[in-house]
Structure 1
Amino acid sequence: MLRLTELKLPLDHPPEALEAAVRARLGLRGAELRSLHVARRAWDARKRSEIVLVYSVDIEVSDETALLRRAARDRTLARTLGPKPDTTYRPVARAPAAGWKRPVVIGTGPCGIFAALILAEMGFRPIILDRGKVVRERTKDTWALWRKRELTPESNVQFGEGGAGTFSDGKLYSGIKAPESLTRKVLEEFVAAGAPEEILYVAKPHIGTFRLVTMVESLREKITALGGEYRFGTRVTDFVIDRGAIRGVITEAGGTIETDHVVLAIGHSSRDTFQALFDRGVFIEAKPFSIGVRIEHPQSIIDAARFGDFAKHPILGAADYKLVHHGSTGRDVYSFCMCPGGTVVAATSEPGRVVTNGMSQYSRAERNANSGIVVGITPDRDYPGHPLAGIAFQRHWEEQAFIAGGGNYNAPAQRVGDFLAGRPSTELGSVVPSYKPGVTPTDLARCLPDFVVAAIREALPAFGRQIRGFDMEDAVMTGVETRTSSPIRIRRGADFQSINTQGLFPAGEGAGYAGGIFSAGVDGIRVAEAVGRAMAGLAAAA
């Protein structure tokens, strides 16, 4: 088959227009075009008065060789026509009959799930550990914080089956560079688990929280059927390391699970596990992350600014945005994890701290749009000295947010107009904050570093020039957003193993190698493949 790209059609084109455009572009008649399948559909809204759809299609023709020869003589056609990429996923190894110990996967976020799935498909029957609960019970605990101010430290937005991505917009796109066979594997497994089939071809696929819950359950059933073994409520407290190689993990209950291969997919908030690894001498380094707030606007403001008269078009849905401002002080301010038609959620995992995040359902039908507005920070400049210093930095500002919010898991909030004027908010305006359990109007400067406050004050008017209404006075800012990414990196080599601990495979967002559901899933596949190769090789050598 061939792939034809850059086919542009009006937003409201009739169904038959796509085939007509393919035939016109390629000069095909009648039975010369045998089949057509949409590989990707995006939209181009750079001209709000003329939004167009942009397609890539996979086609089967009667004489592929002749068409490719013609394309070789036509520079324009050659740029948009070529062989369809091979997207078939193929296992890289098979478990030998004997001579190996079962691998352990720590964490059941997207990285851990896909690592476990690939290992199970190769026949290695992984043991999967998670400190939290199964996703349904975890959801109840999370709602208890949002509705009753009751935090369960081991079962919340950060910990439990599905990982932090379960309570998010469910975005399934990323800027990572990876073989299409890996990215397609992630999407196809999600569809098989219950995701809408459109995620296979829309440019910015998303799922939403409710669908993610059932999908996580379906993937667990598949992994279990393939020989994987889940153990929830099992927190890893220590690691058995002998002469630079992993030999097992120790759980909170005091038991030891012997293994020579551990996939470390623990997420960006497993601070006690980071400490345990550091104490055992595993190489860890501080890495940059970002800190800031969540900002909310009426979704209608964003729709109008981005789509003009096409706002609310069913194909376009709720509008999103991506913003960046390079500040005069050298600080970058940018939007993070934008959630169209969503809500701001309480995302702390530790008592006495307030953390925010964003979430959307598949419909993206809530009143407000929200995103993080965050400022990049670096170890050398902002938290020098110790590989785990970023954790202390996060905790300090999360504690200040807890105090500023009233000490009851309310989040501190401020109108944009008051924030820009440097005065505390005493009440909020027309934009109703969505954060639960509630917000306390105050001065966000109490719970953010001065340089972050200054950078965001400079950026908001600049963002208002890009999206009309973005710096509206009644827009609501809620603090604090600290868990944008892991504050550490567990360095690994080309074989995906820790650079100083054989058999330990740092993976995903917590180890500093992913950012979001999609990239974490792909990293889980890559790491599982590395484990499979290592285990098959060791078994063969034995």
Structure 2
Amino acid sequence: MIRISQLKLPIRHTQQDLEQAVSKALRLKAIQIDQINIVKKSIDARKKNDIRYIYTIDVTLKQSEGLYEPEVIKRSKNVNVAYSEKSEYTFKPSGQNKLNHRPVVVGTGPAGLFAAWLLAKHGYQPLVIERGDEVDKRVKAVKHFWESKALDPESNVQFGEGGAGTFSDGKLNTMVKDANNRYPLIMETFVAHGAPSEILYLNKPHIGTDKLRNVVESMRKEIIQLGGEVRFRTKLTDLFIENNKLVKIELNHKEVISCEVLISAIGHSARDTFLMFLKRGLMLSPKAFAIGLRMEHKQKMISQSQYGDAYIHLPAADYKLTHQTKSGRGVYSFCMCPGGFVVNASSEEGHLAVNGMSNYNRDEENANSAIVVTVTPEDFGKNEPLSGLYFQQKWEALAYKTGNGDVPIQLFGDLLRNRESVTIGNVTPNLKGKYRLSNLNNCLPNFVLEAVIEGIQAFDHKIKGFAEEEAILSGIESRTSSPIRIHRDEAFESNIKGIYPCGEGAGYAGGITSAAMDGIKIFETVASRFLPI
């Protein structure tokens, strides 16, 4: 193939305009081109009076025209035209050890889902267990919680089919280096199971919570079709270990099954499972994460700031903001949701946490993002494995108390003055779950609040109006990543043989795609050691 990079077109261009630009770049007639495939599409908004789409395009030529690709490239005299070969995921299982029992995958978030799907595709017939509900039942349980505050601790925004990402914006970009083409495999798999094909080339792809639900359900059905088994409302409750090796597991405090390969993809909120792991001798340590508040602005204001008057012709704008405070703390925007909702993401009685969520269309009135501050084990008090978890619980309990069980919200101006908000301003909260005007100064450590305030004021220099006093804040955002790391060696195995920690909950990923990539790595490790069932 021939690859064309840095192909710039106006934001209101047509498909014909794109085809003509490709022909011009190659100095060919349209009839000589067989296929045009978009590899990447992004927005260049550096000049707001001349915003452009930038494409990377792969082109195949018609063989009947007698064209020789190297000659076409040379004749184009264009530094952005080069030869391209398609890269594919090519891993093949090579294990020689016999498995006496099918592998067990714990959790159906992206890490567990991809590990299980690949195991099923290669004949390993995995047993997949999920403490929460299948996605349709889970959606109903979450909706009931938002309407009634009746929390199901096993099936909620954190637990259930698809993991925490099911109720999110469904962002699919990643910073993980990927020499083995795991990322294209993830994207192509999502598309094959119902995701929009544009995720294959958009610079900042997302699925949206509404479409992501269908994708995870489709992947589950294929796992079953390929010989795997998926059990919902099934929690890992104990481990049986002999000679530092896993031999059995307990499910739901009653069923015991033999197990020699356990893939632990439990997510960042499975606090009871972390405690059980610690009691059974797994090596855990506290790790840094981030905590703060979620902030809502009018999406129109954000889009106008990012794109100028051209915003009406472009998708809802996002942002990514960072600031280092005078005290040296890092504060940054996290999980920004254009045109989305703030959601009550609690998973424990008497504790409250929030998150953000967008549908595929991102067409809600408000933009929201977490504004969070990095906290480290030195901030937790005691340097013990679960100290970060206890730190989260302390402030989530205060958030629950501050809002009297509802999500506590506050205007930014009132946060500055340490006073309870009594009325809504020009930004109406777009929040899933009940909320209560409160004082968020009661919900976070002073050093976090000071950093959040300084960060918001600094971000106002980058997005005019960001620090408007009637912007809405809600709290607390405490589940940015896992507060613990489950140790594993270079072969991805824990200190107890047969247990493979992976994904965000184990401390090795930070988002849908990086978690999925980690799940793929665990599949590769298992398939390099063991034969299929």
Task: Bin the TM-score by the shorter chain.
Answer: over 0.9
What SS does the aligned partner of 2:530 have? helix
Q: Which residue of 1 aligns with 2:434?
A: 438
Match of 1:504, as an amino acid? I
Pick aligned residue for 2:450 from 444, 450, 454: 454
Give the counterpart letter for 1:236 in structure 2: L
Matched, 1:486 2:493: no
- Which of 517, 525, 538 does residue 520 from structure 2 map onto? 525
CA RMSD of aligned residues (A): 1.9
Report what 2:355 is aligned to. Answer: 357
Equivalent position of 2:18 in the other structure: 18
The residue correspondences of 1:55-74 to structure 2 (distance < 5 A) are 55-61=55-61, 62-67=67-72
1:433-452 per-position Cα deviation (integer Å, ceiling 9, x unaligned): 12233222222110100000
Q: CA deviation at 1:97?
A: 11
CA contact (8 A) 1:398 1:447 kept: yes
Measured in 2, the distance between the counterparts of 1:441 and 1:30 equals 61
Alpha-carbon spacing, 1:68–1:278, altered in 2? closer, same or farther (3 Å) = farther
Structure 1 residue 150 corresponds to structure 2 residue 150: yes
1:312 partner SS: helix
**Mapped partners of 2:378, 2:69: distance in 1:** 56
The equivalent residue for 2:64 is: none
Corresponding residue SS for 1:3: strand
Count of matched residue positions in the alignment of Structure 1 and Structure 2: 528
Q: What does 1:495-506 align with in structure 2 at a 5 Å threshold?
A: 495-498=491-494, 500-506=495-501
1:410 and 1:436 in contact (8 A); partners too: no
Alignment of 1:108-507 (within 5 A): 108-179=108-179, 181-313=181-313, 316-406=314-404, 409-498=405-494, 500-507=495-502
Q: 1:135-155: CA deviations, max 9, x gaps?
A: 111111111110011100001
Deviation at residue 213 of structure 1 after TM alignment: 1.7
Query: Does structure 1 residue 508 correspond to structure 2 residue 509?
Result: no
8 Å CA contact retained: 1:95, 1:124: no
Q: Secondary structure at the match of 2:304?
A: helix
Render the CA deviation track for 1:322-349: whole Å, top value 9, x for unaligned: 1111111011110000011111001111
Secondary structure of 1:366's match? Answer: coil
Greater mean alpha carbon deviation, residues 209-218 or residues 60-69: 60-69
Supply the distance in 2 between the matched residues of 1:216 and 1:14 (Cα, whole angstroms): 33
In structure 2, distance between residues paired with 1:302 and 1:355: 25
Q: CA–CA distance in 2 between the matches of 1:99 and 1:281? A: 24
Is the aligned partner of 1:82 residue 2:83? yes
> Residue 26 of structure 1: CA displacement?
3.2
3-state SS of the aligned residue for 2:531? helix
Residues 257 and 70 of structure 1, relative CA distance in 2, 3 Å threshold: farther
State whether residues 131 and 159 of structure 1, in contact with CA within 8 Å, keep that contact through their aligned partners in structure 2.
yes
Name structure 1 gaps, 5 residues minimum: none
SS state of the match for residue 92, structure 1? coil
Question: Taking structure 1 as reference, are residues 517 and 99 closer, same or farther at Cα in structure 2, changes over 3 Å only?
Answer: closer
**Are the equivalent residues in 1 in contact too, given 2:145–2:151 (CA < 8 A)?**
yes
Task: Compute the displacement of 1:264 (Å).
Answer: 0.6
SS in 2 for 1:380: helix
CA-to-aligned-CA distance 1:251-292 (integer Å, 9 cap, x gap): 124222212111110000001111111111111111110000
Report deviation, 1:190: 1.2
The one-letter amino acid paired with 1:432 is T
Letter in 2 for 1:333: V
Q: Which amino acid aligns with 1:279?
A: K
User: C-alpha distance in 1, partners of 2:435/2:133?
Assistant: 28
TM-score by length of 2: 0.95
Tell me, in whole angstroms, the C-alpha distance in 2 between the residues paired with 1:66 and 1:384: 67
Question: Deviation per CA, 1:162-202, whole angstroms, max 9, x where unpaired?
Answer: 11000001111111111363111111111121111111111
* C-alpha separation in 2, matches of 1:437 and 1:11: 37
Displaced runs of 4+ in structure 1, greater than 4 A? 29-32, 67-71, 94-99
Seen in structure 2, the aligned counterparts of structure 1 residues 180 and 338 have a Cα distance that, compared at 3 Å, is farther
Amino acid at match of 1:86: S
Q: Secondary structure at the match of 2:460?
A: helix
Q: Which amino acid aligns with 2:454?
A: E
* Contact 2:481 2:504 survives alignment (8 Å): yes
Q: What is the DSSP-based 3-state SS (H/G/I as helix, E as strand, rest coil) of the residue aligned with 1:17?
A: helix
Which deviates more from structure 2 when the two are superposed, residues 482-491 or residues 277-286? 277-286
- TM-score (normalised: structure 1): 0.93
Q: 8 Å contact 1:240–1:247 — kept in the other structure?
A: yes
Contact 1:91 1:122 in 2 (8 A): no
